[in-house]
Amino acid sequence: MKSHYRAVVIGGGVVGSSVLYHLAKFGWTDVALVERSILTAGSSWHAAGGIHALNADPNIAALQAYTIDLLSEIEKESGVNIGLHMTGGLTMAGTPDRWEWLQSAYRVFQSIGIEDCRLVTPKEAQELCPIMSTDALLGGMWADREGYIDTTGTVHAYAAAAKKRGATVIEHNRVLELHQLRDGWKVVTEKGDVTCEHVVNAAGLWAKQVGRMAGIELPVSPLKHHYLVSDTIPALEKLDFEVPMTVDLEGFTYMRQDQKGLLLGIYEIDHEHWAMDGAPWDYGMELFQEQTDRIEKELVMGFERYPALQDVGVKTWVNGAFTFSPDGNPLVGPVSGKKGYWCACAVMAGFLQGGGVGKSLAEWMIHGEPEADVYGMDVARYGDYAQNRRYIRETTGQFYSRRFVMTYPNEQLPAGRPLKMAPAHDAMTEAGCKWGVSWDLEVPLYFAPKGFEEVPTLKRSNAHEVVAEECTAIREGVGLLDITGFSRYEVTGPKAEAWLNRLMASKLPGPGRARLAPMLSETGKLKGDLTVLNWGDGTWWIMGSYYLRAWHIRWFRDHLEDGVSVRDLGEEVCGFGLAGPKSRAVIEKVAEGDISALPFMGCGSFDVGLIRARVARMSVTGEMGYEINCRYGDHVALRRMLLKAGADQGIRECGFNAMLSTRLEKSFGIWSREFTQGYTAGMTGMDRWIDWEKEFIGREAALAERDGNGPAQIQVTLEVDAENADASGFEPVWANGEKVGFVTSGGYGHHLQTSLAMALVNREQAEVGTELSVHVVGVERRARVLAPSPYDPDGKAMRG
């Protein structure tokens, strides 16, 4: 062991080994992996080793596809047999909704380039997996590239391939302490101290402790997980092929062949946490006693699905621990304020996702950003609120128990809620508000009559008409929207303007004005669709998506300069927005001064009643609107005041569902849908806000796109001939049977009374009037390209 490495990876499981391999593959050979015991000790050695393509997050599914493709390369490069069995795989559905969802998921896979899938009937599934009972099954999806691997062999293959490229693997050497240095980290181990520029926490079951060594509290917890391996099954002995990896979604089980027996794994409803503060240091190659009483219900369903199990014994029980995050996705990336500290934790499906995690993290460390959009597994998708022990227990347990439970797009899950609430929350609840959650905050979805309950569905819900009424209020009268769920960052200091000018690709607004501002990475990809406000007193605000608070603060801090201060106002400032043609009449009643003179995209400080507020004249609905920002302590009074002032105008409280409908009618994109770090300004139309005459981060890449051939795909708005369901995102777009793009978001335009979708399509199909088609909940529907902003294309309404 040397005294210095460029990077030290802590943890010798599949994820740590993959990170080490990819660092070496991409050019960093002076790297070491430090393992407290032996490679695979922890979760990797007892993992079931299944590999499959299905994931609810298309970006995660794409990384899983990368991992599957990588496995055979690793085996060849390392010379280590990984026991790869590409049996193909089945995912089965046993309810009408699940079957619709599976048909829709099949189309999503087509959108992201996974072409080796097909839908199958129960009869076809029976032929592919003869030992499976298809009773009550409605259909399934077959994928060619599914199967299983030898877990121990795979970890050793990653490590061996890394060593061949110059990396070092050090076993039997526990990390004791971590100390941040001016230019890196000191890693204190049992065998001596090591300094490095970068340290990677890939410690699996011990990720919590390795985080705490650096003063970091990671939202992770281990849970116990069962599978069994049966004795030899005569029916399998007679087959001349291996049965496929099979997931029975209604039965909470997965199955694969194990020699001439079956491996049956269970995600039980009655979950059990273990060692929430991290596994004991001397734990590693142990298992827990099986708990058949706890898994009895799911076990019975598994034996009914595979009747041959009823005639043989159980050869082996495995009850081991795996680490989970609140949403089940990995925690990957740099930790804000801990330069050089990287996470590669909570990779619950390590052998399926480990390759993609290793690739993305190595790219991030070496090149400054990953090639793919990995926000779904970015450690910065959580804030300090997720450090709470009860929050971790509730959310990780909810994910585990719902691993195979269907979640509907309009369904609100209860774990970890309610956490943070705007001051007027109780009053709004009394007024009929139905709540969703954004990050840690309860946000209003819509206001319904007393006793109303929304029914989870893949199609238009029973809240459809409620939202329609709110949209009518916004388009014809005035709507009141709680805007606590917008992020706000205060930028001050003598160099604030210069810093913002470099960070934002747009021109900066003059005093008393606001401006839309794309923010780019060095490679020209989007890092934000933001609004910059110049209050005229030396204070600037940046406003954006609330759930990106930790993500954006990390970016701001990484680029901070002397003479600039950035402060997150998310715990101090909230407010309400007025939207609609009668919004001016309402605010004029309560505001001191000539607020009617405030121009479109103007901003300033006003006395609104007894409240000193920051007011901006803008709205994402496409109507005349005012965003009134106040202190948390003024929120209740502001709501009362505005409702009273708007009573004669028919003011109506509205939620974010109405805002999403109205923004589609204006072709206004939103982050995570139209705008992501996987897209460029040119692809999304955000390039129209770029100031090409100035220097800004990402300018060279943006210019290269502008002056080259341009993006292959661009954003358009589609009208869809839908019936009782709307597109939501990642559905394929077709032209004469050829896939030409995919939906980024969709919904119903209540004012225009038509189904709308925004999509990225090939430039050749982007002309207004082009006839296309879109799959909506698995059914192909005709569509056509509309001119941007089908509602009020000249913007007269919002300009007043």
Q: Is the pLDDT of residue 60 over 90?
A: no
Instruction: Give the whole-angstrom CA distance, residue 575 versus residue 613.
Output: 9
User: What whole-number percentage of the chain has pLDDT above 70?
Assistant: 100
Q: Tell me which DSSP letter residue 208 carries.
A: H
Q: Is the pLDDT of residue 213 over 80?
A: yes
pLDDT band at 115 (very low <50, low <70, confident <90, very high): confident
Query: Residue 52: its pLDDT value, please?
Result: 83
Q: Is the pLDDT of residue 285 over 90?
A: yes
Q: Is the pLDDT of residue 55 over 80?
A: no
Over the chain, what is the mean pLDDT? 97
Does residue 304 sit within a domain?
yes
With a CB cutoff of 8 Å and minimum separation 6, the contacts of 197 are 6, 7, 183, 184, 185, 340
Q: Render pLDDT for 159-206 as a digit per residue (tens, 0 to 9).
A: 999 999 999 999 999 999 999 999 999 999 999 999 999 999 999 999
Does residue 394 sit within a domain?
no
Does residue 226 sit within a domain?
yes
Does residue 535 sit within a domain?
no
Instruction: Give the whole-angstrom CA distance, residue 433 versus residue 440.
Output: 18
**For residues 310 and 300, is the Cβ–Cβ distance under 8 A?**
no
| CA 575 centroid distance within chain | 27
Query: Residue 112: its pLDDT value, please?
Result: 83
Query: Residue 56: its pLDDT value, please?
Result: 66
Q: Render pLDDT for 381-390 as a digit per residue (tens, 0 to 9).
A: 999 999 999 9
- The residue written with tokens 């990484």 in the block is 558
Does residue 416 sit within a domain?
no
Does residue 731 sit within a domain?
yes
Number of independent structural domains in the chain: 2
User: What whole-number percentage of the chain has pLDDT above 90?
Assistant: 97
Q: Which domain holds residue 141?
A: 4-332+340-364
CATH of the domain at 767: 2.40.30.110
CATH of the domain at 121: 3.50.50.60
Q: b/e per residue, 181-202, with b = 16+ CB within 10 A? A: eeebbebebeeeebbbbbbbbb
| φ/ψ (deg, to 5) at 142 | -100, 140
Does residue 600 sit within a domain?
no
Q: Is the pLDDT of residue 475 over 70?
A: yes
Does residue 747 sit within a domain?
yes
| pLDDT, average across residues 748-765 | 98
pLDDT band at 562 (very low <50, low <70, confident <90, very high): very high
pTM, entire model: 0.97
